[in-house]
Amino acid sequence: MPVLSCFKYVKRILRCCAAGVLLAVVFVFLTCLPAWGAEKENVYVGDSRTVGMHSAVTGLWFDDMNIREDTGVWVAKCGRASTWFKEVGAPQAQKYLNEGNKNLIILMGCNDMPKTSGADVYIKYLKEHEAEFARKNISVYFVSVNPVGHMNGGTETSYRYLSNAGTCEPFNAYLQKNLPSYVKYIDTYSELVKKGYETSDGLHYKKSTYLDIYNAIQDTISLDSVGISRITCESCNVFDYTYYVGNNADAAKECGTDGSTSSIEHAFRYFVTNGLKKGDQASAYFNINDYMELNSDAAAKNGNDALS
């Protein structure tokens, strides 16, 4: 029976869910699948916001980075834009990309706005390297330029020439429209606007927001590596996006139903953080409540309301 055949894997998933660590869940899903080759190393290229994100993740501060560590490769410098990317950042990253089997994550653009000419530099670079990246097994992600200013009626103090509607959104729209199709666009901008964020000076973020951005990037990369619309264990579908939002009104309202990458990723995170506890079924082939009844330890760890 397909459902029973994957119970032993799902128990591992639910134990990770109990710890509240989404990335751990994603990596457990990866262990349920056939081998996809060695895990790819992340190569980050960016400006001062990338420097800040690195500091939030590691506790270390370097305003000019070209380093390799456990979290990946970081090539970034404060106050830099497309010219630096073309002349310094991309060439520095290239020595790591030449090794192959990498995720290239580009976090540039806030120092290029409001003009889109900087975006053209990134687009041209990515078009020129498409064949090379395919040959070297390099997945490419371009992260949106994230919002400026303060939430809840506050006003930015140091970067008044920037605004979300006037600069960030047009720049992001231009990128999305013109990036090569092989590049995955990560829309953290929309997620932050919806969730809320905190800045220290109108442009740079506080640690909690940097970590939100970092975790969203990791989620996207992890889910992308297995095919995010449907996650399976052996022959059993555990999470099916279409089924989940079609049969759970709260998930559809919260995450949307347009089938976009951001909607799918949001739906999966919503299932992990909310659906498991409620006993929501996320697939026609796997019933979480049946599993909990057969595995009381998993039910206890996850606090399944449906069995209370």
Judge if 277 and 156 occupy the same domain: no
Segment 204-257, tens digit of pLDDT: 999 999 999 999 999 888 776 655 455 555 445 678 888 899 999 999 998 888
Judge if 58 and 203 occupy the same domain: yes
Judge if 47 and 31 occupy the same domain: no
What's residue 157's pLDDT? 56
The token duo for 88 is 């310094």
Q: Look at the chain and report how many structural domains it folds into.
A: 2
Angle between the N-to-C axes of helices 207-224 and 22-32, in degrees from 0 to 180, rounded to the nearest 10:
10
Judge if 244 and 99 occupy the same domain: no
- Per this entry, what is the length of the chain? 308
Q: Is the dihedral of CA 183, 192, 107, 98 positive or negative?
A: negative
For residue 258, is it within any domain?
yes
Q: How confident is the model at residue 258 (pLDDT cuts 50, 70, 90)?
A: confident
What's residue 231's pLDDT? 54
Judge if 196 and 51 occupy the same domain: yes
pLDDT, greater one: 190 or 307:
190
> Of 203, 224, 245, which closes a domain?
224
Beta bridge partners of 67: 74
Instruction: Please give the share of the chain, as a percent, with pLDDT higher than 90.
Output: 50
pLDDT, greater one: 294 or 80:
80
> Of 224, 243, 278, which closes a domain?
224
Whether 150 shows a pLDDT value over 60: the answer reads no
Segment 76-129, tens digit of pLDDT: 999 999 999 999 999 999 999 999 999 999 999 999 998 899 999 999 999 999
For residue 304, is it within any domain?
no
What's residue 146's pLDDT? 96
Q: What is the DSSP letter of 202?
A: S
Residue range of the domain that includes 28 = 2-36+230-297
Question: Which range has the worst mean pLDDT, 26-40, 184-198, 283-297?
Answer: 26-40
Question: Which range has the worst mean pLDDT, 85-99, 149-163, 284-298?
Answer: 149-163
For residue 262, is it within any domain?
yes
Q: How confident is the model at residue 14 (pLDDT cuts 50, 70, 90)?
A: very low
In sequence order, which residues have a C-beta less than 8 Å from that of residue 224 and are 6 or more positions away?
A: 139, 184
Segment 265-275, tens digit of pLDDT: 788 888 887 88
Judge if 109 and 200 occupy the same domain: yes
What's residue 263's pLDDT? 81
Count the Cβ atoms, other than its own, within 10 Å of residue 142.
24
Residue 203: which CATH number?
A: 3.40.50.1110
The token duo for 64 is 């000019």
What's residue 264's pLDDT? 82
For residue 306, is it within any domain?
no
- CA distances (Å), 177 to each of 81, 86, 172, 244, in order? 20, 21, 9, 29
Judge if 258 and 187 occupy the same domain: no
For residue 308, is it within any domain?
no
Whether 308 shows a pLDDT value over 70: the answer reads no
> Of 224, 248, 267, which closes a domain?
224
What's residue 32's pLDDT? 42
For residue 302, is it within any domain?
no
Identity of residue 144: S
Whether 71 shows a pLDDT value over 70: the answer reads yes
For residue 264, is it within any domain?
yes
Judge if 12 and 103 occupy the same domain: no
Query: Mapped to the 3 state alphabet, what secondary structure does 63-83 carry?
Result: CEEEEEECCEEEEEECCCCHH
Judge if 78 and 149 occupy the same domain: yes
Judge if 17 and 157 occupy the same domain: no
| 253 CA to centre of own chain | 21
Whether 72 shows a pLDDT value over 60: the answer reads yes
Judge if 45 and 119 occupy the same domain: yes
Judge if 20 and 76 occupy the same domain: no
For residue 303, is it within any domain?
no
Whether 156 shows a pLDDT value over 70: the answer reads no
What's residue 297's pLDDT? 65
